[in-house]
Amino acid sequence: MKKVFLIVFLFAFPILFLSCGHKSEGNVQQSSTGDVATSPKTDADIQRYNLEVKQQQSGGRTPCDTLSVVEYVLSNYPKGSYLVNFDKTFTFNVPKPAVIYLNNGSGTFVLAVIAKSKPGERLIETKNIVGYDQSFINLDSTHLGTAFFYLTLLKCDNGNFTKIWEAPIPAHGGFNYLAMDKWAYNGTPYVRVDFHYARGIGHIDYNYFLVDGLMNPPHLLMTYKGIDFQRTIANVNNDKFPDYYEYLYYDLPNRIYAADSIPFYWDVKDSVYVNTRNHRQTRPY
């Protein structure tokens, strides 16, 4: 009997030891994560270390490459600021940084999506602001920190960056990707910043039109599409600013369909979008 008890004890003791060890390790990790979220200095040190590792491992670097953008943000932006990555296309692929490189006669430029943490709150984590599920953070963003997104234009000068302009993006989570596009009406280029919108089973595009050229701050027009809502780019009053159609949907028990479309135009004097059928209804973008 004693022999049986000894065998059972010897078998159970390692399991008990490993269980306690894992629990302790998990507590340490949780504590460490909490310290980083509330310590801008610790977060900056970790960012700097990770950047140095990537710089050492990368080969064939070029002036003003993506790692240089990360370093610029780390050195020149408030603590808790990050260059954002695209949402993952597949589960195991490596996400791409949210940058677009442009070359024209006056030099090399970089369009980048940068997220900043709200001062006084815990620092944001990029995993909480990118992706479909993370679009729900707009309902209660303060629990995980509030992210402020910006579309930024940087110019590369002899390996160094100069910030040309910075345009706020009115969203706090659910970033997907950004891309360059052209307005079909007159060929004006614009930057499309796409966000998931899980609550409406759709997406929202913040379109930054370069109506006065690349070097001047862009004009923002928001469009979107979901199961029962839609707004599309349009030309209503034949000027250089984009307009849009807002679609009116009927949500019936057996079907959902668009019954009407209402044109809005950009009022240059008041800097708002105006409903052509009801001038008292305006929208900022």
Place of tokens 């379109």: 207
| Alpha-carbon gap, residue 97 to 69, rounded angstroms | 10
In a domain, residue 13? The reply is no
Per-residue pLDDT at 25: 33
**Confidence at residue 28, expressed as pLDDT on a 0 to 100 scale:** 32
Tell me the C-alpha distance between 284 and 130, whole Å.
25
**In a domain? residue 225:** no
Q: Tell me, what's the pLDDT at 15? A: 41
Per-residue pLDDT, 172? 93
Distance CA 212, CA 115 (A): 25
CA distance 174 to 146: 12
Q: Which of 118, 266, 267 is nearest to 183 (CA)?
A: 266
Residue 166 in domain: yes
Q: Of 151, 159, 90, 157, whose CA–CA distance to 116 is shortest?
A: 151
Does residue 72 lie within any of the structural domains?
A: yes
> 52 in a domain, yes or no?
yes
- Within-domain flag for 118: yes
Main-chain dihedrals φ then ψ at residue 26, nearest 5 degrees: -65, -40
Contact 246, 231 (CB under 8 A): yes
Q: How is residue 263 written in tokens?
A: 């044109």
Instruction: Work out whether strand 81-83 and strand 175-182 pair parallel, antiparallel, or are unpaired.
Output: unpaired
Residue bearing tokens 């040309």: 164
How many other CB atoms sit within 10 Å of the CB of residue 123?
22
Q: Is residue 19 part of a domain?
A: no
pLDDT at 142: 63
191 - beta bridge partners?
180, 208
CA atoms within 13 A on the CB side of 98: 27
Mean pLDDT by 10 residues, the chain (285 residues): 42 41 35 64 91 88 93 96 90 87 90 95 92 83 85 94 97 95 97 94 96 97 96 97 96 90 97 97 98
Cα separation, 228 vs 275, whole angstroms = 20
Q: Report which of 242, 192, 202 is spatially closest to residue 224, judged by C-alpha positions.
A: 202
Q: Is 259 contained in some domain?
A: no
pLDDT of residue 141: 56
Q: Are 69 and 76 in contact (CB under 8 A)?
A: no
Question: Count of domains in the chain?
Answer: 1
| 3-state secondary structure at position 269 | coil
pLDDT at 36: 77
Provide the domain limits for residue 58. 33-174
